[in-house]
Structure 1
Amino acid sequence: MAQPSSPLAPSSEDRIVRRKLSDLVLERLTAMVLSGELKPGDTVPSERDLMARFGVGRPAVREALQAMQMRGLITIVHGERSRVNPLTAEIALHQADTMAQVILSTAPEALDHLKDVRRLFETGMVRIAVAKATPAEIAELREVVHSQRRALGDAPAFIACDIAFHRRIAEISGNPILRAVSEAMLNWVFRYHNDLLHWSGREDVTLGDHLRIIERIEARDAEGAVAAMQAHLDRSTGVIQHSA
């Protein structure tokens, strides 16, 4: 016969978990940044000072500082004092890079989900560009396409120009969060599926699509620009699916 469980038996919620000292130091350092005690551009206290302040050894401090750098909160330069980085949307989204790499590498359906999100995002960005793009910004888009044409035959350079084109459209919004989201999505797509997104032998299709998008932006034709962007992304998606 089963014995009744003791009313004092610890549950998963009651258990006290022993935490690493480096995690506690990381928590304190992060709080110092978020509270403004350590401001962007400030030097981080020396390892010796942190050891004395928190009452821990050098390994815990060093591990915490490395974790801070991985999160984009500080920059560690050999031979110099670490400095606090500005808190930006780019830093926040950068933290998702590792997880994105794992998901896109192990879950085939994740790329389809990312492409769906990108389609919604890019068509929204081009609609904003129609409303806000200045003649100088339109000229910059054309120069990106000219650079991309000059990069024919050089796949890495061609892809870099492709990224620059879509990034520039997002920058026209003037919204740093939208710019950071664009940068993150482009990096995820192009970095983890670079081989699928290089249209070997069909680069002229990409160039033509980009020019049509610019023409619709310049004409202040929102619906036409959205349709041109959708057609461009649908064509590239078709190549990806055919190559997969």
Structure 2
Amino acid sequence: MARSKQHNKLFSRIKASKLSDEVYNQIVLLISRGKLIPGDKIPSERDLAVDLGVSRQSIREALSRAEIMGLIEVRQGEGSFILSSINKSLKPPLTIIIEKEAGRIFEFLEIRKLIEGWCAEKAATEATIEDLENMEEILDEMKKVASKDKQWEELDLKFHLSFAKATHNVIAVHMMEALKTNFRPFFKFTKSMPRSEKIDVLWQHHYEIFTAIKHRNPEAAQEKVIDHLNFIEEKLKEDMDIIKY
């Protein structure tokens, strides 16, 4: 008859969870439920400690663990922000492929058309008043910073993410967050079109996408996104032709 192992050698006594583990588990749960999405700012250590009734040390340990696991990003002087786990796994290979082979950018555009087209279509039926107000605010800000490249680009990215968030589909938001880190090359076409004209046209495209979503027209919303990306594709190809010659 087989002898059982000495149980006191094999198992350890179960200890109560550390408070920092409980805080960390809450962060994970909120992310999985879509209550915290990429780009969201987490309350400060002080506010979290008060809200959860634990010490700031417990909060600090939980946030440190979340950062190590790639769930959050701590920005000096700004706070802690939710990251996309998909972003962490996709960004390096996508960036390398796009940077090394220029033609791959058009394959990336095809994926953008599929995902962003669907997001706009879905947003047209799911967007809340708050979502629409957020999109409109971004468009207003884009007009104000039209002469400032970096700020314009940040707001452009923010607008595309805003209608992904308006789908209220957590996976879609994480996918868009991952894709947007590779959007930079799409801002660079300038040789085939004066910058001021480019900004005017792009802003109009964004406004038309927003209008279709606001008017609850899924087909038009999807169509406007694809028209916008087709335009960018055309201009990038024109730029490449200019560079060749």
Same fold (TM over 0.5): yes
Residue of 83, 91, 98 corresponding to 1:104:
98
Contact 1:151–1:157 under 8 Å retained in 2: yes
Against the structure 1 CA distance between its residues 130 and 197, is the aligned structure 2 distance closer, same or farther, given a 3 Å change threshold?
farther
- The one-letter code sitting in structure 1 at the alignment partner of 2:201 is V
Task: Verify: 1:118 aligned to 2:85, yes or no.
Answer: no
Structure 1: give runs of 5+ residues left out of the alignment: 1-37, 43-79
Q: Indicate the percent of aligned positions where both proteins have the same amino acid.
A: 15
Q: Higher Cα Rg: structure 1 or 2?
A: 1
Please state how far the C-alpha of 1:126 moved relative to its aligned partner.
0.4
Deviation per CA, 1:169-190: give whole Å up to 9, x if none. Answer: 0011222221111011111122
Deviation per CA, 1:65-116: give whole Å up to 9, x if none. Answer: xxxxxxxxxxxxxxx9793216758124313222222111112232111100
Against the structure 1 CA distance between its residues 223 and 194, is the aligned structure 2 distance closer, same or farther, given a 3 Å change threshold?
closer
Task: Verify: 1:196 aligned to 2:201, yes or no.
Answer: no
CA distance in 1, matches of 2:117, 2:164: 10
Deviation per CA, 1:116-167: give whole Å up to 9, x if none. Answer: 0000111100011011011221121111001001011101111111100000
- The one-letter code sitting in structure 2 at the alignment partner of 1:213 is I
Residue of 228, 237, 242 corresponding to 1:241:
237
SS in 2 for 1:84: helix
- Normalising by structure 2, report the TM-score: 0.62
- Normalising by structure 1, report the TM-score: 0.62
SS in 2 for 1:235: helix
CA distance in 1, matches of 2:181, 2:146: 21
Against the structure 1 CA distance between its residues 94 and 203, is the aligned structure 2 distance closer, same or farther, given a 3 Å change threshold?
same
CA distance in 1, matches of 2:173, 2:22: 21
Please state how far the C-alpha of 1:195 moved relative to its aligned partner.
2.5
- The one-letter code sitting in structure 2 at the alignment partner of 1:242 is E
- The one-letter code sitting in structure 1 at the alignment partner of 2:125 is A
CA distance in 2, matches of 1:165, 1:123: 14
Please state how far the C-alpha of 1:196 moved relative to its aligned partner.
3.3
Q: After the TM superposition, list the runs of 4 or more consecutive aligned residues in structure 1 that deviate by more than 4 angstroms.
A: 38-42, 86-89
SS in 2 for 1:152: coil
- The one-letter code sitting in structure 2 at the alignment partner of 1:117 is I
Query: What's the C-alpha RMSD, in Å, of the aligned pairs?
Result: 2.6
**Structure with larger RCO (C-alpha < 8 A, sep 6+):** 2
Task: Verify: 1:229 aligned to 2:210, yes or no.
Answer: no
SS in 1 for 2:154: helix
